[in-house]
A = this chain, B = another copy of it.
Amino acid sequence: MADESLFDFLHMEIVSHIYREQQSSKEEMDNKDRAVCVSVLESMGFRVGQGLIERLTRDSPSFKDELDVMKFVCKDFWTKVFKRQIDNLRTNHQGTYVLQDNTFSLLTQLSNGKQYLDQAPKYLAFSCGIVRGALSNLGLDSVVTAEVSVMPSCKFQVVVQKL
């Protein structure tokens, strides 16, 4: 119980700290300010994701292909970080993957429905970074975005960048 909460509470604090410091000198935040916050959170997540996957894969056999990597992220990695597996993984077999988590742990405390939907992106940037960092250390450059239509369900889209 408190293991998750520790991370959850700390995550909340960081989000609010970063938004507060960006807003400090202004009346209201514009889109550019919001983009700065998202980017700061995303790169924190990136480094955390890199660190985590390094430990997690220490004793794992190597992966046979991209899909194999994605499956590992959806099962083992997701379970360690977000306490459950991804509910649904889809791909177009051309490097785009959609990972759906119906009860995303960082949103469950926030809301259950459509209220506060506009606040959701704040709480997803860090997680997008975690996924991108993990994939990066497994050899996949990617762009990761998240989308919420009803909380606490969340879809992460991963687009693997081909060289």
Contacts and interface: CB of A to CB of B under 8 A. Distances in A.
A26 B25 CA distance: 19
B55 A6 contact: no
A44 interface: yes
A: contact size bracket: 20 to 34
Interface string A1-32: 11101110111011001000100000000000
A160 interface: no
A46 to B, nearest CB: 10
Contacts of A34: none
Question: How many copies of this chain does one complex carry?
Answer: 2
For A2, A6, A14, which residue has the most chain B Cβ atoms within 10 angstroms? Answer: A6
Contacts of A80: 1-3, 6
A56 interface: yes
Contacts of A11: 10
Interface string A108-143: 000000000000000000000000000000000000
Contacts of A6: 7, 48, 52, 80-81
Contacts of A5: 51-52, 55
A85 B40 CA distance: 35
